[in-house]
Amino acid sequence: MTTRTSRRRPLAVLTALTLTVGAALVAPGAVAATAPAPDDLPTVTVVATGGTIAGRAAGRDTFTDYRAGTYPMTDMVSVLEPEVSAIADVDVVQFGNSGSGGYTIAQYHALTQAVEEALETSDGVVVTTGTDTMEEFAYWLDLTVQSKKPVVISGAMRPWAAGETASEAGVIGADGPANLLQSIRLAAGQQTFCFGTVLMLNDEIHAARDVTKGNSTRNDTFVTRQLGALGWIDGDQVYVQRAPARVLDCATDEWFTPFDLDEVAATELPRVEIFYNYQEAGREAIDAFAAAGVEGIVTAGTGAGGISSGPGQARRAAVESGIWFVSTTRTGSGAVSGGGDGIIAGGDLIPQKARLLLLLSRTFTDDIEQAREWFATIGGSSFDQSAMAGVVSPVPGGEVPSPTPEPSAEPTAGPTTPPPGGEPGGEEPGTEEPGGEEPGTEVPGGVPGGEETDPASEPDAGEEAPGGAVGGPGSGSGSGGLPALGAETRGIVLAAALALLVGAAAVHQRRTRSLGVPGMPRGLGR
């Protein structure tokens, strides 16, 4: 296990990607992938935080009776030798050795900085942690790490061993060694460059934004409902079949989120809580959160975000005191739309992830409209390839449309795009119905999950409320061949087409770089 000093840089990777794409357009099939030379292996840093993967079991056949966060990562990596050294040069940062649920938001802040520091010299980072809150670890890193290099988070559902050291009395069927090896393989291979943070467990690759823990004990616990995994690993082969929408911004600084933690101290991160709704829920929880000085509350509502009458009344009072709310659903999938005074629609973010985005939004801006936009874009980014319709030929062998439109006789207005996710305005319904607030069909300007409206406008009790999830990549337009031009002309057209493709993709992925209250430096507006 060694540490190298020479590293690949994002610019070099991007340049290589551009050259490969360009060569493929001119002469399809002419580019062959080459494996790295043995003396030029990528460097991967493992940032260890503990969890079940580092757990010591009571016996070799014991899967659920163990002490998490016991073995140091250096000992665990040494168990993987010599196989791991054929994949990458690995170094280790022992950030902590605890169960995942024991970490604080201030420690999350420090973890982001540890990952970013490692990425300054490494080609990729693997973060190991417990699975209980791994989905929150992953999404936090996805929102805050300011590097396009691969970040892979992994762990285990079964403890590593039952001996005094990680190399003694390995647990029968332990998944930790394989998960660690395959995570290093994934980070080293660069296939998820510009994906943000991904989660790899049980040979499946999931997007940090979408993945959730779906079972308390099974090895295949992590799932991405509705959308499915990004890809998988079979042996030493990595297959990536889809990508997060942010990859469209890979070539530009639009890829980065505004949540640069170098600009804020851990003490500036506010307290944000979650309220879970249920039949005839009381208002006391929201009242207590407000009295405790929280700055944001996520409501995990029923159906499309509904909350009961008591919590609804408490929410209105809390909004008047300056607390921001995000409306989500407890169903585990599906979107919540709408919004209102002091209330942001959480889209299809699950409550615990909406909490992290709300916490960061409250840290970096005092403008709720800015936060609303971040939820619609960063929190709900999706693919939009409509710009390709005017750039790429839709048929085989067709000509590439001219990058410069012919001037018209009269000036025409350019295409306009509505703000991502829209911005529902208006107040909550003014008349409160006895019997509590129930989810109903969204009324323009209404609050999701607000008070009952006209029963005729509501869906049946068992009917799933409408709401789309973030879409995956579409089928895409086919890239037409270049016309029969001379070599010099073909090169010019190719360069222009590549520039348009990258530029259009960056513009049309629904993301934003607005950074808070106008005139206020980023990181100072809380």
Residues with a known catalytic role? 52
Tokens at 311, concatenated: 């919590």
Spatial distance between the Cα atoms of 77 and 79, rounded to a whole number of angstroms: 5
Per DSSP, the three-state class of 378 is coil
- Of 371, 264, 351, give the one whose Cα is nearest residue 307: 351
Tokens at 8, concatenated: 């690949």
Spatial distance between the Cα atoms of 361 and 296, rounded to a whole number of angstroms: 10
Spatial distance between the Cα atoms of 504 and 321, rounded to a whole number of angstroms: 42
49: left (phi over 0), alpha (psi -120 to 50) or beta: alpha
Q: Is 358 within 8 Å of 272 (Cβ atoms)?
A: yes
Spatial distance between the Cα atoms of 102 and 50, rounded to a whole number of angstroms: 10
One DSSP character per residue, 85-150 reads GGT-EEEEEEEEEE-GGG--HHHHHHHHHHHHHHHTT-SEEEEE--STTHHHHHHHHHHH----S-
Q: What is the CA radius of gyration of the chain?
A: 25
The CB density around residue 396, as the number of other CB atoms within 10 Å, is: 9
Return the half-sphere exposure (C-beta side, CA atoms, 13 A cut-off) of residue 139.
24
Tell me whether strands 231-234 and 237-240 are parallel, antiparallel or unpaired. Answer: antiparallel
Give the containing element (helix H, strand E) for 318.
helix 309-320
Instruction: Classify the C-alpha dihedral 183-184-189-191 as positive or negative.
Output: positive
Q: Which residues pair with 306 in a beta bridge?
A: 302
> Position 184: which residue type?
I
Burial (0-12, 13-18, 19+ Cβ within 10 Å), 258: buried
The single residue listed with the structure tokens 């390995």 is 170
37: left (phi over 0), alpha (psi -120 to 50) or beta: beta
Give the containing element (helix H, strand E) for 153.
strand 151-154
End-to-end CA distance of the chain: 44
Spatial distance between the Cα atoms of 499 and 511, rounded to a whole number of angstroms: 19
- Of 524, 410, 478, give the one whose Cα is nearest residue 25: 478
